[in-house]
Amino acid sequence: MKNGILALALEKGLEGTGVTPAEALAITELPETSIYELLAVSERVRRTHLGVEVNLCSIVNAKSGLCKEDCSFCAQSVKYSTGVTEYPMSEPGKIVGAAKEAAAFGAREFSIVTSGTAIEKERDIAALTSALRSMKESVAMERCASLGILSRDTLMKLKESGLESYHHNLETGRSFFPKVCTTHEYDEDVEVVRTAKELGFHVCSGGIFGLGEGWDVRVELFATLKELGADSVPINFLNPRPGTPLENAQNLKPVECLKIIALGRLMMPKTDIVVCGGRQVNLRDLQPLIFAAGANGMMIGNYLTTPGREPGDDLQMLADLGLRPRGYK
Ligand code: SF4
């Protein structure tokens, strides 16, 4: 059975179709002792389709806190007392300055991230369009943003100002979403992803793991992302934030994190899989194995509300693994 499902995963991975949700579930049932056989398959699939280049992305938290949504993992919700720093939309110059810093430490893609359901105020949109135009003129990086449940018109306006990628996480599988967020519907998130795809953005959409979801939910999320045609799938691991409902959640075991990444790779063989928040605290010394598990991207620099590793340490890790950062255009 073990060799059968891994042989099938390799075959479907190499041909690019990926395993079905039922086959993915069979992979999750493999014993923990099979992890290195699983990584041998996921590494080969990643290398075949994506080579040795790794996409490095970085973010700026351009508007922090005071969000009226109630995502149970998030320190930026106004419903929880987390002590997170709160501030309105940053000035364009500050956003562009952060992009230049990220470019200097090796990031290829830069995302402007804001808290809240959606950016709606005209003056906030004006700050973003100004920052995007300035980035286009002065920094050679892919311009991405994560601004919530935006309308088609606002997305169009941002595209005209130079936005290339749009990020919007589904967070978890549809069946588990009501346990994570009760202030908006899953379909609202799905709709943004669909609209961004229709408008021709490079679409980055993934989720966060370690919220108490089972393997069936993880498979459900990846199946939805595959069906939506996400171009890039960010994988976050919960780093429990004091004051949130999940403050006492246990970190995932490193091997479980690797299995999640491998599952994503084997379901979506050609998609960018990018490991983002929670990498250090969940994977600890197994961080270099994310690439064997099938990741071909990672976030470097700081996360939204928590500090990241020194970018130099991440670049050294890539060099030691014989991998190299992907260039911009
Ligand atoms: S994840 Fe986003 S939408 Fe949810 S509470 Fe945090 S900032 Fe608000």
Q: What is the DSSP string of 93-121?
A: HHHHHHHHHHHHTT-SEEEEEE-SSB---
Query: Total structural domains in the chain?
Result: 1
Q: How far is CA 145 from the centre of its chain?
A: 12
Q: Is 115 in the pocket of ligand 1 (CB under 6 A)?
A: yes
Residue 306 CA to ligand 1 centre (angstroms): 15
CB 39 within 8 A of CB 288: no
Average pLDDT over residues 230-240: 97
pLDDT at 84 over 90: no
Of 63, 82, 115, the one to substitute when testing ligand 1's pocket (max ligand atoms within 8 A of C-beta) is 115
Q: Is 192 in the pocket of ligand 1 (CB under 6 A)?
A: no
What's the pLDDT at 266?
Answer: 98
CB 325 within 8 A of CB 106: yes
CB 128 within 8 A of CB 147: yes
At residue 201 the predicted structure's pLDDT band, cuts being 50, 70 and 90, is very high
The overall average pLDDT reported for the chain is 94
What's the pLDDT at 2?
Answer: 60
At residue 60 the predicted structure's pLDDT band, cuts being 50, 70 and 90, is very high
The residues, ordered by sequence, that sit 6+ positions from 91 with a Cβ below 8 Å of its Cβ are 127
Q: Is 296 in the pocket of ligand 1 (CB under 6 A)?
A: no
Average pLDDT over residues 8-35: 96
Percent of the chain, pLDDT > 90? 91
Query: Residue 83 — left, alpha, or beta (φ > 0 → left; ψ -120 to 50 → alpha)?
Result: left
Per-residue pLDDT of 155-193, as tens digits, reads 999 999 999 999 999 999 999 999 999 999 999 999 999
**Residue 137 neighbours by CB distance under 10 Å:** 9
182: domain CATH number is 3.20.20.70
Ligand 1 atom nearest residue 184's Cα: 3
Q: How far is CA 220 from the centre of its chain?
A: 16
**Interatomic CA distance for residues 280 and 237, integer angstroms:** 9
What's the pLDDT at 238?
Answer: 96
**Residue 82 neighbours by CB distance under 10 Å:** 18
pLDDT at 306 over 80: no
Ligand 1 atom nearest residue 70's Cα: 5
Q: Is 171 in the pocket of ligand 1 (CB under 6 A)?
A: no
What's the pLDDT at 189?
Answer: 97
The protein residue whose alpha carbon is closest to atom 4 in ligand 1 is 71
At residue 81 the predicted structure's pLDDT band, cuts being 50, 70 and 90, is confident
Residue 13 CA to ligand 1 centre (angstroms): 34
Q: Is 74 in the pocket of ligand 1 (CB under 6 A)?
A: yes
Give the closest residue to 73 by CA, choosing from 215, 195, 201, 241: 241
At residue 111 the predicted structure's pLDDT band, cuts being 50, 70 and 90, is very high
- Residue 120: give the domain boundaries: 2-325
At residue 301 the predicted structure's pLDDT band, cuts being 50, 70 and 90, is confident
